[in-house]
Structure 1
Amino acid sequence: MTSPSSLRPPFTRDTATAKVRAAEDAWNSRDPGRVSLAYSEDSTWRNRDEFVQGREAIRALLTRKWEKEQDYRLMKDLWAFDGNRIAVRYQYEYRAADGGWWRAYGNELWEFDAEGLMRRREASINDLAITEAERKFHWPLGEPRPAEPAVVLCIA
Structure 2
Amino acid sequence: MVQALSLVPPFTREAAELKVRKAEDGWNSRDPEKAALGYSLDSVWRNRAEFVTGRADIVKFLERKWSRELEYRLIKELWAFDTNRIAVRFAYEWHDDSGNWFRSYGNENWLFDAQGLNVHRYACINDLPIKESERKYHWPLGRRPDDHPGLSELGL
Give the TM-score taking structure 2 as reference length: 0.93
Over residues 26-71 of structure 1, what are the superposed CA-to-partner deviations in whole Å (9 max), with x where a residue is unaligned?
1000000001111000000000110010000100000000000000
Q: CA deviation at 1:146?
A: 1.3
Q: Partner of 1:152 in structure 2?
A: 151
Secondary structure of 2:60's counterpart equals helix
Counterpart of 2:135, as a letter, is R
Q: CA deviation at 1:151?
A: 5.5
Where structure 1 has 5 or more consecutive residues not aligned to the other structure, the ranges are 1-5
Q: Partner of 1:126 in structure 2?
A: 126
1-side partners of 2:87 and 2:149: how far apart?
23
1:70/1:97 contact within 8 Å kept: yes
Give percent identity, aligned residues only.
Answer: 58
1-side partners of 2:150 and 2:40: how far apart?
32
Q: Partner of 1:3 in structure 2?
A: none
2-side partners of 1:109 and 1:155: how far apart?
22
Where structure 2 has 5 or more consecutive residues not aligned to the other structure, the ranges are 1-5
Q: Partner of 1:115 in structure 2?
A: 115
Q: Aligned-residue CA RMSD in angstroms?
A: 1.3
Map of 1:62-141 to 2, 5 A cutoff? 62-141=62-141
1-side partners of 2:25 and 2:124: how far apart?
20
